[in-house]
Chain A
Amino acid sequence: MNSNKKFILMITGIITVVIFWISWVSLNPADEKAMATFVSVDELLEDNITHRTKLGGLVKDGSIVISETNHLDCVFILKEGDLELEVKYGRTRPDLFKDGAEVIVTGLYENGVFHADELQTKCASRYEGDLRNEKSYNLSEIDS
């Protein structure tokens, strides 16, 4: 076998191994947190999905309850349209987490409660602010 053929064989070999490796990891990720399916609250409730999912929605006004004991555990209601879902989260909350915030949660749905281990907030609306809304650039907030 001449060297050129050897090289082609070798390269084909590497490519095969890599394709196998990538598809293997894609189908059987070692860490269960490696993948999450993006679903709507509607789909989650209807199909009772129990594998790891990602949901987006708004934090219902006044629904945030923070534990008195460790101040970390918190429960809130995630709203998507008219649908509501109770979410439990027990880690440091992002700065922009508050009533009405747009959030994305990732976790598992169990017995009617969504146990999130990731909570992301969308960027502050201020910086995508509506220029027509006087409040969004109120001069009074400029300090002397």
Chain B
Amino acid sequence: MTPIAGSVALNLAFGFSILTVLTLFLYNKNGDERLFLTGQRLALGISFFVFLATFILAYQLVQSNFDIDYVARYTSLETPVVYKISALWAGQSGSLLFWLFILSIYTTIVILQNQQKHNSLMPWVIITLAIVQMFFLVLTNYVTNPFKPTDADFIVSNGNGLNPLLQNVTMAIHPPTLYLGYVGFSVPFGFAISAMINRDTSPLWIQSIRRWSLVAWLFLSIGIILGGWWAYRELGWGGYWAWDPVENASFMPWLTATAFVHSIIIQEKKDMLRVWNMVLIIITFTLCIFGTFLTRSGVMSSVHSFTGSSLGPIFLTFVFSIMIVSFGMMYFRRNDLRSTKKMESFTSRESGFLFNNMIFVVMCFAVFWGTLFPVFSEAIRGTKITVGPPFFNQINIPIGLILLALTGIGPLLAWRKTGKKILIRNFTFPIITGLIVAILLLIIGLRGAVVISFSLGAFVTATITTEFTRGIQARRKKFNESIITALIKIVSKNRSRYGGYVVHLGIVFMFVGFTGHAFDQEKEFSLKVGESNHVAGYNFKLIQMSETERPNHYAWISDLRVTNDEGKFVTNLHPEKRIYFHRNPDPNRRQPHSELDIYTTMNRDIYSIFSGVDSENSVAFIKIMVNPLVQWVWLGGYILVFGTIVALWPRKDQ
């Protein structure tokens, strides 16, 4: 009975979405306020039925109702409750419903927020969001329905269960966070479309979406970082980023979104870059839909493709329709989008922003090119050429370094034009800092991109420090405050600016971490109990190997003693080799899994993998990686989140 209720709710939501669009169209024709109110309520109705459907599916998952195909496929009786719920976004149809669920939350918030404000943009915002909802409702209703019953001619006694790789807290949070980001850009997109249709050329609409864009950007960033963290701690290849198509799918909208959150500042403050901002938000939103498609369609073979399907044509049609309609609209509104002001000088804050934007878009294009390289090469030359991480690294390292440099240069430029005197005053200290670091690194024998990266990091850090000290000093002079009070005051008076600097600092930390990758070392070897091996200045001795049976798996646990070259004890590592479903009579159904163990410091991680076991001869096969500076990436992530929250925090008077 209840599963049917789920299907009915989805059907009703679809019906409501059609009604919403029709009613609001009608309102735009004749301006009857009652129609607008009805339209709003209908739109809330869509969200209501989507919520209902999502809760029904979640409830069925928790109850293990295997009459529903989705429940049987992604959970089993023994799956812990938390992961039964997270199975909501483990498979294709469920995750599409979940996308819709988040979109409905956002839509509801937008409608409720603007209900009293008589925002003239709202009708078209709601129409746009309802059309996006409609698309996902078509998918979940007619293409891949999460409430599809299990074939009726047999009874499922237990479901397939959730992949143990996905049974991990991070993995339970990573997809929803990423979705909160992806879906979040629907709102600014809706406002952009509405502003174009309403010929609203004021910077006002930009203000109403600035916060939305930052929130979406924050979730997207957290989602990406969590994904890397999960890959690093679970997958056991020792890295956090592999330029996998699906990773790229989340990175591309992140790049354009980052450009967007920068360039809307210019439109807000200077009323410039109108066309550019429109292009950016359209591309970002399109890439979000495209990302969902890449993740969920299985066109790219990837670790993420837990699903394979025929969604391709429908998604691509939607993606192209968005682009054709949006860019078409831009063409018809080209006169309204013309900015009144022009760039005055290369050495202005505006042009700094413009260049940073260009580089972000360029990087996005480079990633796009690499991701679709196999598709392009097959179309052009008939051979499917795949590109690996070295390709992406080679292309993106120089671009990334230019971006890092701009992170430092941009904030030091003045609006309109920076005079020579100010240029010298602002840049002397940071450039000297960068040069000193570069010289020191060259002296200790480092060469190449590594030196550039570290010294640019120092340069940017110096610019951020300059900005903070200058602000603090100005206040101290004027109000005679203590350093701490002055710091709090400058930040709270200009949250987005100083929050932004903190984010930049986080980015510097992350670059330090990325650069550490150049020094990674690894070694694979086998050890008998009592034997030891040497990797990158550390000695690894296998003290003992034990076996144990746990509720859902069997494990071999190694006890590795790590000492440094001077023989000093560093740590004990206990990587495990596990077999899940070890009691299954069919050996092919048992699933081996390597549970790794990492010793972490700010300088380096010692990463150990128990890759295989020969229990007869008690030999363990161990892979050790020594990865310098990885911790900086995660720390940078925390700083980035903190900075964004500072920038987002509402001011008292608002």
Closest B residue, CB atoms, query A118: B388
Instruction: Determine if B599 is an interface residue (Cβ-Cβ < 8 Å).
Output: no
Of all chain B residues, which has the CB nearest A29?
A: B391
- In chain A, positions 101-141 with a C-beta closer than 8 Å to chain B are 104, 123-129, 131-132, 134-141
Q: Given the complex, which residues of B lie within 8 Å of A127, measured CB to CB?
A: 160-163, 306
- Known A93-B612, A142-B78; contact A72-B387, beta-carbon cutoff 8 A: no
- Of B354, B525, B584, B623, the most chain A CB neighbours within 10 A belong to B584
The 8 Å CB contact of B611, one of A34, A92, A123, A143, is: A92
**16 pairs from A and B in contact (CB 8 Å cutoff):** A6-B346, A7-B354, A25-B391, A26-B391, A35-B387, A37-B386, A100-B588, A123-B305, A123-B306, A127-B160, A137-B156, A137-B160, A138-B158, A140-B583, A141-B584, A142-B78
Q: Which of A14, A34, A92, A131 has a CB less than 8 Å from the CB of B387? A: A34
- Chain A interface size, as a band, is 35 or more
Q: How far is the CB of A15 from chain B (nearest CB, A)?
A: 8
B471 within 8 Å of A (CB atoms)? no
Closest chain A residue to B366, Cβ basis: A22
If A31-B394, A37-B385, A92-B524 touch, whether A71 touches B621 (CB-CB below 8 Å) is: yes
Contact A33 B390 (CB under 8 A): yes
From known contacts A18-B362, A38-B383, infer whether A136 and B160 are also in contact, taking CB-CB under 8 Å. yes
Q: Are B385 and A34 in contact (CB-based, < 8 A)?
A: no
A91–B238 CA distance with the chains assembled, in angstroms: 14
Residues on B close to A: CB < 8 A?
Answer: 69, 72-73, 76-78, 150-151, 154, 156-163, 301, 303, 305-306, 308, 342-346, 351, 354-355, 358, 362, 365-366, 369, 373-374, 383-388, 390-391, 394-395, 398-399, 524-526, 551-552, 581, 583-586, 588-589, 591-594, 609, 611-612, 614, 619, 621, 623
B284 to chain A: closest CB distance in Å? Answer: 20
**Are A131 and B551 in contact (CB-based, < 8 A)?**
no
Q: In the complex, what's the smallest C-beta–C-beta distance from A40 to chain B, in angstroms?
A: 10
Contact A92 B609 (CB under 8 A): yes
A22-B395, A29-B390, A141-B583 known; A124-B369 Cβ under 8 A: no
Task: Contact check, B388 vs A36: say whether CB atoms are below 8 A apart.
Answer: yes
| CB within 8 Å for A38 and B385 given contacts A25-B391, A25-B394, A143-B551 | yes
* Closest residue on chain A to residue B377 by CB atoms: A37
B635 to chain A, nearest CB (A): 29
What residue of chain A has the Cβ atom nearest to residue B90's Cβ? A127
Question: A58 CB to closest chain B CB, in angstroms?
Answer: 13
The residues of A that contact B589 with a CB separation of less than 8 Å are 126, 135-136, 138, 141
Q: Is the beta-carbon distance between A4 and B343 smaller than 8 angstroms?
A: yes
B residues in contact with A22, CB < 8 Å:
365-366, 369, 395
Whether A54 sits at the interface, judged by CB under 8 Å, is: yes
| Chain A residues with CB below 8 A from B163, complex form | 123-124, 126-127
Q: Give the residues in chain B near A36, CB-CB below 8 Å.
A: 385-386, 388
| CB-defined contacts of B161 to chain A, threshold 8 Å | 126-127, 137
Bound CA span A127–B305, Å: 12
Give Cα A53 to B280, complex, Å.
37
Cβ contact of A93, chosen from B305, B345, B395, B611, cutoff 8 A = B611
Q: How far is the CB of A46 from chain B (nearest CB, A)?
A: 14
- Is A45 in contact with chain B by the CB < 8 A criterion? no
Residues on B with beta carbons closer than 8 Å to the beta carbon of A92: 524, 609, 611-612, 621, 623
Task: Please tell me if A95 contacts chain B, counting CB pairs below 8 Å.
Answer: yes
- Evaluate contact between A25 and B395: CB separation under 8 angstroms: yes
Chain B binding surface, main DSSP class = mixed
Q: Judging by beta carbons under 8 Å apart, are B619 and A71 in contact?
A: yes
CB of A121, distance to nearest CB on chain B (Å)? 10
Assembled-state Cα–Cα distance A82/B597 (Å)? 42
The 5 lowest CB-CB distance pairs between A and B, nearest first, are A31-B390, A34-B391, A38-B384, A34-B390, A95-B592
Q: A34-B387, A35-B387 are in contact. Are A124 and B524 (CB under 8 A)?
A: no
**CA gap between A138 and B301 in the complex, in Å:** 29
Task: Evaluate whether A70 and B388 lie within 8 angstroms (CB atoms) in the complex, with A22-B366, A92-B611, A95-B593 already known.
Answer: no
B591 touches A21 (CB 8 A): no
Point out the residue from A4, A6, A39, A138 that lies within 8 Å of B585, measured CB to CB.
A138
Of A11, A26, A37, A143, the residue contacting B358 (CB under 8 A) is: A11
Closest to A90 in B: B524
A14 to B584, CA, bound (A): 60
Query: Which residues in B have their C-beta under 8 angstroms from that of A132?
Result: 151, 154
Q: Is the CB of A71 within 8 A of B526?
A: yes
Identify the closest chain A residue to B550 (Cβ).
A143
Known: A22-B369, A37-B385, A143-B552. A131 touches B390 (CB 8 A): no
Find chain B residues with CB under 8 A from A139 CB. Answer: 157-158
- The reply to whether B621 and A131 contact each other, CB–CB distance below 8 Å, is no
A30 lies within 8 A of chain B by Cβ:
yes
| A128 vs B159: C-alpha distance when bound (angstroms) | 11
B64 → A minimal CB distance (Å): 12
Are A141 and B581 CB-contacts (below 8 A) given A3-B343, A38-B374, A54-B386?
A: yes
- How far, in angstroms, from A35 to B344 measured CA to CA in the complex? 44
Known A-B contacts: A22-B365, A71-B621. Give 4 more (CB < 8 A): A7-B354, A104-B301, A132-B154, A135-B586
